[in-house]
């Protein structure tokens, strides 16, 4: 049995690797070799990565790809994407090209409000708490002035602080529900620092509020934290064209295709099982750009899915309509993103990704990311209602299978050619490979 280890974080990197490889892997020497193969030969770069997190023993690479030809509000973008799934960049590029020839994507930022909350338990008369809040409100703002000074210079700051009585949900539960503008920063550190200061000031000031009894002064701050649910930090992305221009190939008419697209989206509107997969396709595009630009994809994921369920049932994030001969496909999605702070000025590839995008503001990045999501969804649903998803997916996955089988460059070339004309199921690829080898 492996014994727990004390002070793992204090070991050197080599000691950590020795320990993990020896105790948890079958072939320690090979495991060490694998971990070291992913180290950067550039010591400064490796040190940077080592210091991003605790206990770094190697780097985890993801492909960094480019989806070109995205026309967004009449500007042409090449969008960097960090993702492992074979078909995602290809699908995004295909959708970008399709809409490039049909007027491109149009986007609008509908809001940039961020949210944070101080959660606390108060055991007393609700009215007295309300009176105290009115009295302390100004003090809450002034106590954070050193934190908000720089943010205010950049056009951000605290927008509002509200006392919310939540006792109908949980006995004695109240909160300070606070809203913020964070300019080009995602704002997590700024918001959390302000909230922790609010909590401190709130508690301190309560001690001098004469109307409170000792019990009422003794309320309990439970926690102070931003919310990743940001329904008012919202961006809309859309495409539209006359139905007659919606020609996607000979096998289906433009009218039929438009009709099928709308039907597929409507199914995802009403059926949660389909909606989750439908939205997963959107997140294929969103996460890849969020990751490439050094943003927090977990925060985005959590917020987006909560938004998809905001009406009480999980539903499609995209919408499609056919009206007056016009096909329209659109999405509104909450995205709290930053283009300053965090990894944005630290990680060389993130910096480059942002440069490729023209060093966008946070609002511009919201629009680009939303477009990547919409394009991805269009590409996926287009395949689903026409050829089926496997045709395109397996074409892109073919190389992965061939690499798994150990195919050499010549074999790969021949088999890629072969599968241009034949359906590439896993078995078919294995069979064709074996036939070629044994020829
Ligand atoms: C696969 O990563 C994503 C899809 O399943 C999305 C969808 O079904 O719409 C193709």
Conformation bin of residue 73: beta by default, left when phi > 0, alpha when psi is -120 to 50: left
Q: How far apart are CA 312 and CA 315, in angstroms?
A: 9
Ligand 1, atom 7, residue with closest C-alpha? 278
Tell me the average pLDDT across 151-168.
97
Q: Which domains does the chain have, with CATH numbers?
A: 8-50 (no CATH), 64-110+234-387 (3.90.770.10), 114-227 (3.30.70.420), 393-437 (no CATH)
Q: According to the model, what pLDDT value does residue 389 have?
A: 80
Task: For residue 366, give both structure tokens.
Answer: 């919201």
278 close to ligand 1 (CB < 6 Angstrom): yes
Q: Who contacts 213 (Cβ-Cβ below 8 Å, separation ≥6)?
A: 124
Q: Tell me the per-residue pLDDT of 224-237, one tens digit each, with 9 for 90 and over.
A: 999 999 999 999 99
47 CB neighbour count, 10 Å cutoff = 11
CB 294 within 8 A of CB 48: no
Pocket test for ligand 1, best of 88, 287, 380 (most atoms within 8 A of CB): 380
Q: Tell me the per-residue pLDDT of 254-282, one tens digit each, with 9 for 90 and over.
A: 999 999 999 999 999 999 999 999 999 99
Ligand 1, atom 6, residue with closest C-alpha? 281
Q: State how far the alpha carbon of 283 is from the alpha carbons of 166, 271, 390, in Å.
A: 33, 18, 19
Q: Tell me the per-residue pLDDT of 306-345, one tens digit each, with 9 for 90 and over.
A: 999 999 999 999 999 999 999 999 999 999 999 999 889 8
Tell me the average pLDDT across 407-423.
91
| pLDDT at 388 exceeding the cut of 90 | no
DSSP letter string over 41-76? SSHHHHHHHHHHSTT--S-----EEEEEEEEETTEE
Kindly state the DSSP code that residue 4 receives in the 8-state scheme: P
Give distance in angstroms: CA of 133 to centre of ligand 1.
48
CB 285 within 8 A of CB 88: yes
CB 317 within 8 A of CB 281: no
pLDDT above 90: percentage of residues in the chain? 92
Task: Give, in degrees to the nearest 5, the angle at Cα 337 between 336 and 340.
Answer: 140
85 close to ligand 1 (CB < 6 Angstrom): yes
Q: Which atom of ligand 1 is nearest to the CA of 282?
A: 6
Q: Who contacts 104 (Cβ-Cβ below 8 Å, separation ≥6)?
A: 70, 71, 72, 73, 74, 239
């Amino acid at each position: 049995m492996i014994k727990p280890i004390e002070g793992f974080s204090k070991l050197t990197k080599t000691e950590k690797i020795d320990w993990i490889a020896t105790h948890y892997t079958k072939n320690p020497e090979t495991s060490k070799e694998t971990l070291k193969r992913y180290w950067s030969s550039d010591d400064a770069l490796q040190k940077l990565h080592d210091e991003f997190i605790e206990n770094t023993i190697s780097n985890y690479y993801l492909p960094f790809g480019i989806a070109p030809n995205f026309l967004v509000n009449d500007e042409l973008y090449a969008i960097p994407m960090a993702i492992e799934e074979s078909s995602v960049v290809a699908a995004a590029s295909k959708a970008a090209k399709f809409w490039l020839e049909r007027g491109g994507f149009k986007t609008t930022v509908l809001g940039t409000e961020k949210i944070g909350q101080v959660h606390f338990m108060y055991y007393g008369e609700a009215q007295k708490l309300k009176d105290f809040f009115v009295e302390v409100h100004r003090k809450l703002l002034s106590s954070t002035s050193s934190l908000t000074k720089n943010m205010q210079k950049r056009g951000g700051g605290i927008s509002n602080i509200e006392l919310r009585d939540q006792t109908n949900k949980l006995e004695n539960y109240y909160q300070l529900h606070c809203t913020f503008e964070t300019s080009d920063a995602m704002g997590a550190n700024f918001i959390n620092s302000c909230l922790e200061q609010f909590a401190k000031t709130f508690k301190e000031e309560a001690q001098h509020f004469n109307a409170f009894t000792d019990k009422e002064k003794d309320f309990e701050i439970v926690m102070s934290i931003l919310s990743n649910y940001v329904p008012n930090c919202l961006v809309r992305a859309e495409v539209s064209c006359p139905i007659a221009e919606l020609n996607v190939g000979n096998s289906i008419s433009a009218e039929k295709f438009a009709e099928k697209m709308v039907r597929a989206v409507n199914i995802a509107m009403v059926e949660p099982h389909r909606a989750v997969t439908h939205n997963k396709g959107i997140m294929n595009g969103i996460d890849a750009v969020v990751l490439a630009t050094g943003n927090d994809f977990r925060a985005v994921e959590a917020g987006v899915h909560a938004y998809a369920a905001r009406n009480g049932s999980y539903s499609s994030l995209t919408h499609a309509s056919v009206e007056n001969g016009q096909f329209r496909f659109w999405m509104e999605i909450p995205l709290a993103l930053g283009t300053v702070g965090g990894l944005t000025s630290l990680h060389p590839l993130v910096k480059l990704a942002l440069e490729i995008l023209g060093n966008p503001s946070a609002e511009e990045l919201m629009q680009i990311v939303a477009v990547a999501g919409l394009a991805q969804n269009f590409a996926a649903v287009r395949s689903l209602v026409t050829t089926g998803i496997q045709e395109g997916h397996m074409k892109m996955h073919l190389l992965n299978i061939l690499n798994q089988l150990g195919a050499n460059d010549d074999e790969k070339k021949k088999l890629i050619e072969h599968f241009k004309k034949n359906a590439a199921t896993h078995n078919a690829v294995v069979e064709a490979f074996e036939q070629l080898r044994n020829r």
